[in-house]
Amino acid sequence: MSRRLTWVFIAGVALSLAALIAMQDRDPIANLLRHDVASLSVKLVLLIFVGGLVAVMFRDRLAKAFEAIAFWGVLGLLLMVGYTYRFELRDVADRVIAEVIPGYVARHGQDAEVVRGGDGDFSLTAHVNGARVPMVVDTGASSVVLTQEAAKASGLPLEVLTYSVNVDTANGRTRAAPVTLERIVVGGLIERSVPALVAQPGQLKQSLLGMSFLNRLASWEVRGNKLRMRGTP
pLDDT at residue 150, rounded to an integer: 95
Mean of the per-residue pLDDT values for the chain?
A: 75
The full set of domain ranges for the chain reads 2-84, 101-230
Ramachandran angles phi, psi of 204, nearest 5°: -140, 130
149 has pLDDT over 60: yes
Residues forming beta bridges with residue 110, ordered by sequence position:
none
The verdict on domain 101-230 having CATH code 2.40.70.10 is: yes
Q: Is 33 a residue whose pLDDT tops 50?
A: no
Specify the higher pLDDT residue, 96 or 147: 147
Amino acid 121: pLDDT: 87
Q: Is pLDDT larger for residue 14 or for residue 147?
A: 147
pLDDT at 215 over 90: yes
> Nearest 5°: phi and psi at 176?
-135, 160
Least confident window among 42-46, 65-69, 134-138: 42-46
For the chain, give the number of residues.
233
Give per-residue burial for 151-163: e unless 16+ CB within 10 Å, then b.
bebbebeeeebeb
- Is the model's pLDDT at 133 over the cut of 70? yes
pLDDT at 151: 95
Q: Higher confidence at residue 209 or residue 93?
A: 209
What would you report as the CA-atom Rg of the chain, rounded to the nearest whole angstrom? 37
The DSSP string of 66-128 is HHHHHHHHHHHHHHHHHHHTHHHHHHHHHHHHHHHSTTPPEEETTEEEEE--TTS--EEEEEE
pTM across the whole model: 0.59
pLDDT average, residue stretch 129-156: 93
Q: What's residue 95's pLDDT?
A: 61
